[in-house]
Structures are given as structure tokens and as C-alpha cells.
Structure 1
Amino acid sequence: MDWNSMKPATTLSLPDRLSVDLERLILDGELSPGDRLPPERALAEHLGVSRVSIREALRELENRGLIDRKPGRGTVVLGPGERTGLADRIGEAVNAADAQIRDIMELRAIVEPPIARITAGRATPRDLAQLRELVEAMEKDTTKERYAELDRAFHQSIAQYTHNPLLELINEQIAQQIAPSRGSRYQTRERRQVSSAAHRRIFEAIAAGDGDLAEAEARAHVLDIAAQIAIAGKQGAEPAPGAPTTQPSADQETGI
């Protein structure tokens, strides 16, 4: 891991900027579950900042459930499934339903729009900086696998920035259920562009603190995805008007 590649501080405070950059590395997969971060002293030297700033940034990530810090063990990156208690019970409830994509999309339509509304009223400058980076990364030309990772990170971050751990856990379980569809035949390069535009609108509404608009844009996005999945599901029997009669090639597939 090249720690020198991390970005310098911007308008955010230094600890916030550091936590944003570290979170980006985790969300991007450059830091994987189980990876150990360098000790505070070494990380501070790599980045040319004080240990106090590093400590505050790591505390923020720990509060967000992204890392675990224990004496003698160091700082370890956590994966989505490494939480216990309530997370396990929620996961069992969702998985027990053996939900199909349609069922999951119905659940998303109920859960995600209000989450976007709440986030519009609670997101901090640090949160908005992270969302902006995710949106800008999705708008670039990238692979379907990379886009799927960014897409998951974007929706999960919105839930995280409600600063309500229960909503975050519920959304995390939904994300695990829909993970297969993010690289499936349902999605094309054109769909990726449409999704990126929707993500941009959701982000801008959240950044503006407009809860009504954020909720409306999030609902429109989920309903649009559900409609496209329904169309794709019918193509095997009878193509929808104007829909392609062949399945997209591998390089056309992407996330949602």
C-alpha cells in the first residue's frame, strides 16, 4: 500500500480529510477486510502529519465501524459481515425470506428514499466530501467490477451518513442481497450512465440539505432500476418494445 498517494488536506479539517481518504481506500477495496494499518507513528511519518491527527481520523473510522483497534493487535480493517448482535439478527431475517430481486427492490423503494432524506439533514462536510468523490469516480470510464464497488459504496455511505447505526445495518443487509445483480445481465453501459446521473442528482440534493428532493431522487432511482430489471426479465419470453433482442456482452455489463 502506497500511503504517500493519499491526498493532501483541502477545506476539511486535517483529521476529517485523513478519515475521508482512509475510508475511500476501504470502500475502493485498496484496503481489504483483515488488512492491518501501520502504527500511528509510522502512518504519521508517511503522511507528514501529527499523531494526534492520525488518532482522530482513526477514531472517526472506528466509530463508523470500518476498523477495529485493539492493544497488541493494531488497527484492522473490518468487513461488512464482521458485526454481531443486531446485525446478525437483521441478516437472518432478510436471508430467511430467500428474497428475489423483485422483493429486494420493493424493500429498497421503502427504505432508501427516507434514508436519503435523513442524510440530507445530517451529513457533515466530511460526509459530503466522501460522497462527492464517489460520484465523481462513478462518472469516469471504468470497468463494470469497479463501478459495482463504487455503486455499493455510494448507497451504503448515504445510509452511514444518517449517523443512525440501525439504518446502516438494514441497508448493509440489503446491499449484500442485491450484490449479484450489480454484475448481472440486467445492466448495460448505458444503464451505468443513467445511474451515474441519478447518483449525481441524489448527491446534489443531499449536499443542498434538501430532504424532499433527496428522497424524491432516491425513489425515482430505485423505481427506475426496478422497471429496467422487470423489462430485462421479460426479454427471455418476449422482448419489450425497443429493447435489444440479444443479451449484452460481458463488457457491457455493469452495476446499478
Structure 2
Amino acid sequence: MAVTDQAIEKIKEMIVSGTLSPGARLPNEADLSEQLGLSRSSLREAVRALTAMRILVAKQGDGTYVSGLEPHLLLEAMTFAADVSHGHTARQLLQVRRLLEPQAAALAAGLLSGDQLAALRTILDRSEQAATIEEFIELDVEFHRTIADAVGNPVLSTLLGILSTHTQRLRIVRGTILQPPAGGTPAPSAREQAHREHETIWRALVARDATLAAGASAVHVAAVEDWLASGSTHDPAVLAGITP
């Protein structure tokens, strides 16, 4: 194991054992390096890595602290990995999303307030009129986030946000046109189809029908899996991504 990795493990052990609790300030560099039997350079590298993972928080002029260690904040560090996922990895992320998102929609069906349902309706109306793909994606993110947040579990909200990031959605919606059947007319664009599926999800939520909401959400995610599996688009950048 590399020296920096050893340093990371030793600091994590201090946190797991309770020697360093959430919100605690780390000892100064000289004392901590001596305590752990590490060089200062190795300790600095470890602190930088743990800060990037949101395990530690650097406060300028005040030292380094253990973060609150809230799971949803720690999970945010995975967003970059999701953004750059391609091919098989992207499909694996999508499979996990298909397991979680229908259940979130089912739970939300019984929890969304009247104001939240009205907000979802406004989002859908705005997305239908969106002038750019970027605007559509922003509204799409807001639509799915509103549903997930209604469940009241920030870990679930964060996981679903990671499994389908803004970057992933933009990739495929920007360029995807489903291939038309032989002699047929062009199929809807990814944007048009996504909007129709969002409408179906919204109607199920308004009806407070958890089963229908879960089914509509599952169909929505499964359609993306079909696009990726069949190679409906020939744009490699699109094939690497995940739609809304």
C-alpha cells in the first residue's frame, strides 16, 4: 500500500474509532504526523484526498476539521465518476437507477403536497416551451429532483442525482433521434419522448396512484436502456451518456 494510502487509512481509523468525531478539529500537522508515524508530505496528501471526498473540511486560517459526515454529502464525491462514465459502466448506473427511481416515484405519490404537484406542472409546461436543450435539461433535473425530494430522504435524492447527472442527460438529449422504421416517419426525439413520459408520471402522481407512478417511471428509464442497448444513435458521445 502506498504511503499516502496508509495515511488516509490511519486518519479514517481515527474517525471510525471515535478518536476524531464529526466536527472535530485535526491536531496540527507536526503533532498528527508524529502521532501517526507519517511524514508531513504524506499527511498533506492524505488530508487533500480526504478533503476532496468531503470527509475533511479545510477552513482557511482555522485548520482542518472532520466534516459532519452526512451520507448524502459524502456521496456527492461520486458525481464526477458518473459524469465521465461510458459504455458498460453507464449502463450499470442506469440499471441501478431503474431499481431506485420507480420506488421513489411510488413513495412520492403519497407524499407530494398540492404545491409540489403544482410546481411539477409548471416545470412540465416550461420544459415543453424550452428554447434550448440546456434549458430543457435544467427543467428535467428539477422535475426528477422534486419527486425524489418529496420522499424526504437526502441519501436517496443524492443517489438518484448521481445516477443521472446533468452532464449525462445533456449528452444524449442534445443529439439523439430515434431511428425510424423502414419506410416510416421519424420517431420522436429523445426530448419529445422524455416529455411525454414525464407527463405520464405526473398524471400518476396527481392521481396518488403509487403503482402507476412506479410503472411510468420504470418505463421512462427502461426506454433509455433500450436506446443504449440497441445503438439507436450512432453518435459515440450520445451512446456513452444517459438520458433524463
TM-score, normalised relative to structure 2: 0.56
Contact 1:202 1:214 in 2 (8 A): yes
Aligned length: 158
Structure possessing the higher radius of gyration over alpha carbons: 2
Q: Aligned Cα RMSD in Å? A: 3.1
Aligned equivalents of 1:183, 1:93: Cα separation in 2: 18
Q: Is structure 2 residue 170 aligned with structure 1 residue 182?
A: yes
Counterparts of 1:88-107 in structure 2 under 5 Å? 88-92=73-77, 100-107=89-96
Q: 1:118 aligns with which of 100, 107, 117?
A: 107
Aligned equivalents of 1:143, 1:115: Cα separation in 2: 28
Counterparts of 1:167-178 in structure 2 under 5 Å? 167-176=156-165
Contact 1:151 1:255 in 2 (8 A): no
TM-score, normalised relative to structure 1: 0.54
Contact 2:75 2:158 in 1 (8 A): yes
**SS of aligned partner of 2:189:** helix
* Counterpart for residue 28 of structure 1: none
Aligned amino acid, residue 183 of structure 1: R
Aligned amino acid, residue 197 of structure 1: R
Q: Is structure 2 residue 72 aligned with structure 1 residue 87?
A: yes
Aligned equivalents of 2:175, 2:224: Cα separation in 1: 9
Q: Report the alpha carbon displacement of residue 128 of structure 1 after superposing the two structures with TM.
A: 0.5
Counterparts of 1:1-256 in structure 2 under 5 Å? 85-92=70-77, 100-176=89-165, 179-184=167-172, 187-188=176-177, 190-232=189-231, 247=235, 256=244
Aligned equivalents of 2:128, 2:69: Cα separation in 1: 35
Contact 2:168 2:243 in 1 (8 A): no
- Indicate the larger mover: 150-159 or 111-120: 150-159
Deviations 1:126-163 (A, max 9, x none): 11011111111122252111111111111111101112
Aligned amino acid, residue 204 of structure 2: A
* Counterpart for residue 35 of structure 1: none
* Counterpart for residue 37 of structure 1: none
Aligned equivalents of 2:90, 2:170: Cα separation in 1: 11
Deviations 1:178-226 (A, max 9, x none): 6334233663471211110000000110111000000000000000011
Contact 1:187 1:255 in 2 (8 A): no
Aligned equivalents of 2:69, 2:194: Cα separation in 1: 32
Aligned equivalents of 1:247, 1:225: Cα separation in 2: 15
Identity of aligned pairs, percent?
25
Gaps of 5+ in 2: 1-67, 178-187
Gaps of 5+ in 1: 1-82, 233-242
Aligned equivalents of 1:207, 1:140: Cα separation in 2: 22
**SS of aligned partner of 1:122:** coil
Deviations 1:82-117 (A, max 9, x none): x96212332356767985210111011001000000
Contact 1:135 1:199 in 2 (8 A): yes
Aligned amino acid, residue 176 of structure 2: Q
**SS of aligned partner of 2:164:** helix
Aligned equivalents of 1:84, 1:174: Cα separation in 2: 21
Aligned equivalents of 1:128, 1:216: Cα separation in 2: 18
